[in-house]
Structure 1
Amino acid sequence: MSESVPVRCPACRREHLYAAPSYPCACGAPVSPALDRRAAPTALAHRSWDEDWVTVRCAACGRRVPWPYPELGCPCGAVLRIPVAGAASAPEAGPEPVDEAPPRPAFQPVTIRTARDAVTAAALYLRYRDIRRADQRPPSGIGLAARGLLAQVDPPVRPASLRDVECLWLTAMTEAAGCAYFSLAGCADDARTGADSLGVPLFVLDLTGTPQPVNTHADDLNATGADGRRREA
């Protein structure tokens, strides 16, 4: 966790103390962005995937990786974006790919408190450099896309349905891509059966942010790593 800095909400003028959370680099070291004490926070009016990420350098291994932009929710309802020193936007947002050959290194989880945390956890788990918000919005949840991969993250407290899995699989088939499904609320029995027959890796995200494999396809992905599958394609 980085050093706490004072933050004043531009909407209601309340003062807060904020410390940017640490997220794990691919090397395993915790990384936090350096906050800019001299710049004022801004209240978010709308969201953009590209603007939700900032490039941060890992002091342990030197990797420069996209990280979720620091944010703070004020009791007045405003969501504040906290300025980062020397911030560089990350247009191809997503984690730095792991260079090591499979089996994959141990995943460092991200605690899930919001839907954004769930998406961050899935993106960090997949470790694609070019991961981004999918162009085609899924019927439910949030779609992620990278070269050769489509993923769906379902944050609502509703078990994944067979239709959810089939829609993701059909979309991936039309784009000649692999796919993976992440759910916070588990999955219905027919969804698991369908995922097994269609070859869709199915994961449940627990509140610690750790994807738990639900079927053998997810076990395979967990063992080899998403990036390993891409290299073998």
Structure 2
Amino acid sequence: MSESVPVRCPACRRERLYTVPSYLCACGAPVAPALDPGAAPTAVVHRAWDEDWVTLHCGTCGRDGQWPHPELGCPCGTALRLPVTGTRPRRAQPEAPRREPEVEPAGPHRPAFRSVTIRTALDAVTAAALYLRWLGHGEVRRADQRPTSGIGLAAAGLLAQVDPSVRPAALRDVECLWLTAMTQSADCVYFSLAGYADEARAGADRLRVPLFLLDLTGTPQPVNAAAAALHARGA
């Protein structure tokens, strides 16, 4: 079970309970960051890609993987970055040549989708971004507003959420994405590595939110009718 710890916001001094997320290593074992009890959380003022990720070691297979740095959004509006321990410095690692799986074209004149193998959370984000571009969204970027869980991507008229954790996406995750998209007059789409709770699938069907399952080959698989329709027609 994931660890839950109290976190005090340095801005408003209110305390909230934070549940440490666990992520899925390429070997299938869960990997979770260890919070540093001797250090205080810091407010996120400026975002930097390197600071948004931590490198964790999988005790099962020995791999190092890059995962989102633990953060918590306070009701006062402050984004809190939680200190972690036991992380490793990020370094470039050579990869053996690999054959990238392809998805057959979903419509006329569309090339086959070329995915990337998912070994880290960054790979999951890359796979989702490549798929959105394959659908026809040209300018895919990091979303300005970080979602309640996972990583946010954005394109013109679209918000996407990529969830690399080992916890199936819950109804609240889907509803929060839909509400955020509604406030921006945008469509939305959800990508998950661990699948979806039954309530989340039912809610997504009601709200017409496309749900995709990311397998470890990096190939998004439609989970509901909205996702199947999006895959067939493109952006």
Query: What TM-score bracket applies, with the shorter chain setting the length?
Result: 0.5 to 0.7
Three-state SS of the structure 2 residue aligned to 1:80 is: coil
Over 2 Å off, 4+ runs: 46-49, 100-106
- Give runs of aligned pairs for residues 108-187 of structure 1, distance below 5 A: 108-127=114-133, 128-187=137-196
CA distance in 2, matches of 1:150, 1:189: 22
Please provide the CA RMSD for this pair: 2.6
Structure 1: runs of 5+ lacking an equivalent:
1-45, 53-71, 83-99
Deviations 1:23-44 (A, max 9, x none): xxxxxxxxxxxxxxxxxxxxxx
1:77 to 82, 88, 97: 88
- Residue 157 of structure 1 deviates from its aligned partner by 0.6
Residue 49 of structure 2 is aligned to residue 48 of structure 1: yes
Structure 2: runs of 5+ lacking an equivalent:
1-46, 54-63, 66-86, 94-104
Alignment identity in percent? 70
1:107 to 113, 132, 138: 113
Q: Which residue of 1 aligns with 2:233?
A: 224
Give the TM-score normalised by structure 1.
0.56
2:224 to 215, 225, 229: 215
Give the TM-score normalised by structure 2.
0.55
Deviations 1:163-209 (A, max 9, x none): 00000000001101011000000000010000001010000100010
For 1:111, give the aligned amino acid: T
Deviations 1:60-91 (A, max 9, x none): xxxxxxxxxxxx98xx9332359xxxxxxxxx
- Residue 109 of structure 1 deviates from its aligned partner by 1.6
Deviations 1:137-177 (A, max 9, x none): 11000000111000000001110000000000000011010
Three-state SS of the structure 1 residue aligned to 2:138 is: coil
Q: Which has the higher strand share?
A: 2
For 1:122, give the aligned amino acid: A
